[in-house]
């Protein structure tokens, strides 16, 4: 590829209330980090930390030095508020308690 070739990449950051999508034009061979810098989202949202946040390209985790291709979608992931495994455990435990309480009808059939 010639150095003058450009690629177009979307950089996305989802907040609780809205999603920011910024399309940037970069030189071919640019990295995920280059796209983050060019998007302006790092300045707009100071909570985004290159060392702490995770990033991805089309739903697959990627490092800041990952090479980008034409029409890639760079995603900035926010930290999870709750551990999904723990939430599932709690829901399962609540479900078991509810089933025990509803067991009177089941015992009458036997």
Domain match, 53 and 22 both: yes
Reported as a single tens digit per residue, the pLDDT across 30-70 is: 999 999 999 999 999 999 999 889 999 999 999 999 999 99
Q: Which residue has the higher pLDDT, 105 or 90?
A: 90
H-helix or E-strand containing 11? strand 6-14
Q: What is the dihedral of CA 57, 62, 68, 72, to 10 degrees?
A: 0
**pLDDT greater than 50 at residue 85:** yes
pLDDT for the residue 46: 94
Which domain, by its residues, includes 84? 80-110
Is 1 domain-assigned?
A: no
**106 compared with 73, residue with greater pLDDT:** 73
> What pLDDT is stored for residue 80 in this prediction?
72
Task: Tell me the C-alpha distance between 9 and 35, whole Å.
Answer: 7
Task: Tell me, yes or no, whether 106 and 62 share the same domain.
Answer: no
Q: Residue 56: what pLDDT? A: 97
Q: Give the model's pLDDT for residue 28.
A: 95
**Residues near 24 by Cβ (< 8 Å), separated by ≥ 6?**
8, 9, 10, 11, 35, 38, 39
Residue 50 falls inside a structural domain? yes
Q: Assess if residue 108 is contained within a domain.
A: yes
The values of phi and psi at residue 102, to 5°, are -90, 5
Residue 40 shares a structural domain with residue 87: no
Q: Is the pLDDT of residue 9 over 50?
A: yes
Is the pTM higher than 0.85? The answer reads no
């Amino acid at each position: 590829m010639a150095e003058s070739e450009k690629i177009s990449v979307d950089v996305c950051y989802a907040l609780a209330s809205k999603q920011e999508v910024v399309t940037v034009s970069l030189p071919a061979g640019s990295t995920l980090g280059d796209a983050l810098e060019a998007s302006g989202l790092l300045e707009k949202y100071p909570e985004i930390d290159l060392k702490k946040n995770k990033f991805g390209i089309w739903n697959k985790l990627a490092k800041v030095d990952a090479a980008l291709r034409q029409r890639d979608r760079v995603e900035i992931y926010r930290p999870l508020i709750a551990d999904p495994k723990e939430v599932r455990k709690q829901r399962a435990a609540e479900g078991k308690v509810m089933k025990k309480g509803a067991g009177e009808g089941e015992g009458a059939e036997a």
